[in-house]
Amino acid sequence: MNGNSALEGVLGVWKPAGWTSHDVVAKARRLIGVRRIGHTGTLDPAVTGVLPICIGRATRLVEYLQETPKAYEATLRFGIATDTEDAGGQVVERMEVHHLTEEEIARAIGSFVGDIEQIPPMVSAVKVGGKRLYELARQGVTVERKPRTVTIHSIDVLQMNAAGPHPEVRFSVRCSKGTYIRTLCVDIGRKLGVPAVMADLKRVESAGLTEADCLTLEQIGELKRQGKLADKLVPADRLLGFIPHAAAPAAESARALQGRAIPKKALNPEPKRPGLWRLYREDGVFLGLFEADIGRGELRPVKVFHPSDGDGRTDR
């Protein structure tokens, strides 16, 4: 592929500490030389890790990529509480914790697997009364927040040091969109009856991309200069594996690209359940996302993707 117009897909960026997600997108925009670009989920400035960047038409699928589970590695420190729930905040409580055993800590951490309720921290981007919580927090204002249900798919203890006045545990967690790991750390401490804080956080998976899939900003700049950056872009539809797919023959593919409903009986396989489907032409070209109406026996267009200047092929 040649030229910026051909750059389309998802690029895994390894976000450095001290950068906002907006900073990374702005830098990537300058390095790559494209205007249509955006990320799939904010990371706090102090947090490092996987930040998927959507380029070109892939930006139309950001809302769906955001729904995929995310994975983190975090360090929890007991005996300290801060106003931001992480180690960078103002200490509001300090306690020497000598009584906790490794077994108690592991049992408490494991108890959070499943659907749990979290109260969003005041430093989050959640809006209350039209204002983001972090904006209110900067003004010294604390407001009541409603708990939200999130899902913890798995938690694994990676390392533990229960000795000393402030025991620490490093763990990996796979969770749903909207989970606050800092709040999870605080709630684990609360379960054990002690203050706790998130001491460190790294995101290791997002939108199906892992650390191994990511490039640094420096690498992105170098690959762009070499004309090899397009090889690192992942077609956005390939990361939507949680959405079922079907193939349409030529006549129905043409109807789909015109934004018209198509009969489900013409597809392979024939959709048997309602909801979103990824639709492809029989030769593998991605046509877009379609909504299956089983009662009416048809799929209606939600996001139509006309074939690009290239062949538009993608592996399903």
Q: Please name which of 229, 217, 292 lies closest in space to residue 261, comparing C-alpha atoms.
A: 292
Cβ-contact 190, 203 below 8 angstroms: no
User: What pLDDT sits at residue 138?
Assistant: 77
How is the beta sheet containing 262-263 ordered, strand by strand?
245-248, 275-281, 286-293, 298-304, 262-263
- Mean pLDDT (the chain) is 92
Kindly indicate the confidence band of residue 276, based on its pLDDT and cuts at 50, 70 and 90.
very high
Q: What is the pTM (predicted TM-score) of this model?
A: 0.90
Cβ-contact 19, 53 below 8 angstroms: no
pLDDT tens per residue, range 78-108 = 999 999 999 999 999 999 999 999 999 999 9
DSSP 234-297: BPGGGG-TTS-EEEE-HHHHHHHHTT--EEGGGSBSPP-S-EEEEEEETTSBEEEEEEEETTTT
Enumerate the active-site residues.
44
Longest Cα separation, the chain: 71
- Percent of the chain residues topping a pLDDT of 70: 95
- 204: part of which helix (H) or strand (E)? strand 196-206
At a CB cut-off of 8 Å and minimum separation 6, what does 59 contact?
36, 37, 38
pLDDT tens per residue, range 116-168 = 999 888 777 777 777 777 777 777 777 778 899 999 999 999 999 988 899 99
